[in-house]
Amino acid sequence: MKRVLLWIGVGIGAAAAVALAILIFCTCTFGNHEYRAATCTEPEVCTRCGGTRGEPLGHEGGAASCTEPSVCIRCGERLGEPLGHVWLPATCTEPETCARCEATQGEPLGHVMTEPTYQTRATCTRCGFTEGEPLAPALAERTLNEMQVGVPVPYTTASYEDYGVDVTGTAEIVDYAVIEGNDTFPAREGYEWHIATVRLVFSGDDARKNGAQTAWTYGDFYILDDSMAARADENGLRPFAADWYGMRVQCWQKTGPYEEEDWFDRELRFSWQEGVLVPKGYDGVLLIFYNYRLAKDAARLYLPASDVLDDAVPVFRMK
């Protein structure tokens, strides 16, 4: 009997042990949960009882770009929208370009070129790009007998008494100045006077016998324009046109009063001021001294420059 009781006791004990083992290893009764790692959206979850611990990790966003949204570096979830490009306007040479990623779209605008002028190369009105060369001045290739200030040069013209006889003296630009204006040469907005003080001197036997008849006219270095032959108005202003940065601009010429026009000490002298009223900076006007016989033959003074200009006649460029 005693042995039977012992075995019953043993059986109960074993059953209790098994039950305890089951409780320990198959349930969470004693707090021994088996947690699965937390994710972006789920906290730790017990695989046995479904109980949770802590908080979800939350997404960890990478950097968004112009074309790609931010993406969670852990789970790949798309977070928000792409940033979109920040387009900078197209220029002459570059298409529209993203300030962030340098992506481009469309085409460059292309330059908007002006025609070249005598003063400027062809130029883009949008960006200032230039190309080519300025137009070639009409007289660029011509040899001119160009006068320097203060240096007398030989000048041949017809005598006063007999147009068939030439006399040779000297022509000199005694002084040259650029001024706004004065009593003789009235100022004008946007213009300046280029004034040459001229002296012609004749002293040979022919001149003493027959005198000398002077003649001069104007030309334009760039366009060799003949409009200088126009008549003077009541103020002595003779209009002509110049080509200035591609525009035809009105200019004027004026001959000042003579300071000398007579014999002095066996020399026949002529001295006066020649002025041209031109846009500020214009450097194309030529003062040309020529043989009066040409004017006599043509029955007019102020012959067009193209009729008198050769490589011998003294020319002063009023620049």
**Residues engaged in binding Zn ion (CB under 5 A):** 28, 33, 40, 46, 48-49, 51, 59, 66, 72, 74-75, 77, 85, 92, 98, 100-101, 103, 111, 124, 126-127, 129
Nearer to Zn ion, 106 or 154 (CB): 106
Nearer to Zn ion, 98 or 237 (CB): 98
How far apart, in Å, are the Cα atoms of 219 and each of 43, 143, 224, 225, 245? 97, 14, 5, 6, 18
Q: Is residue 201 a contact partner of residue 269, using CB atoms and an 8 Å limit?
A: yes
Nearer to Zn ion, 86 or 177 (CB): 86
Nearer to Zn ion, 86 or 312 (CB): 86
Buried b (16+ CB within 10 A) or exposed e, 55-73: eebebebeebeeeeebbbe
AA identity, residue 169:
G
Buried b (16+ CB within 10 A) or exposed e, 187-216: ebeebbbbbbbbbbbbbeebbeebbbbbbb
Q: How far is the CB of 42 from Zn ion (least distance, A)?
A: 11
Nearer to Zn ion, 100 or 142 (CB): 100
Q: How far is the CB of 117 from Zn ion (least distance, A)?
A: 17
Q: How far is the CB of 129 from Zn ion (least distance, A)?
A: 5
Q: How far is the CB of 277 from Zn ion (least distance, A)?
A: 36
CA-CA distance, 25 to 18, in Å (whole number)? Answer: 10
Q: How far is the CB of 17 from Zn ion (least distance, A)?
A: 22
CA-CA distance, 265 to 267, in Å (whole number)? Answer: 5
Task: For residue 258, report the phi and psi dihedrals to the nearest 5 degrees.
Answer: -70, 135
Q: How far is the CB of 37 from Zn ion (least distance, A)?
A: 13
Q: How far is the CB of 87 from Zn ion (least distance, A)?
A: 8
Nearer to Zn ion, 65 or 255 (CB): 65
Nearer to Zn ion, 127 or 177 (CB): 127
Neighbours of 85 (CB within 10 A): 19
CA-CA distance, 103 to 236, in Å (whole number)? Answer: 66
Q: Is residue 290 a contact partner of residue 308, using CB atoms and an 8 Å limit?
A: yes
Q: How far is the CB of 85 from Zn ion (least distance, A)?
A: 4
CA-based nearest residue to 286, from 244, 231, 242: 242
Q: How far is the CB of 246 from Zn ion (least distance, A)?
A: 18
Q: Is residue 194 a contact partner of residue 276, using CB atoms and an 8 Å limit?
A: yes
Nearer to Zn ion, 46 or 90 (CB): 46
Checking DSSP bridges between strand 145-146 and strand 314-317, what pairing results, if any?
A: parallel
Nearer to Zn ion, 62 or 204 (CB): 62
3 state SS of 4: helix
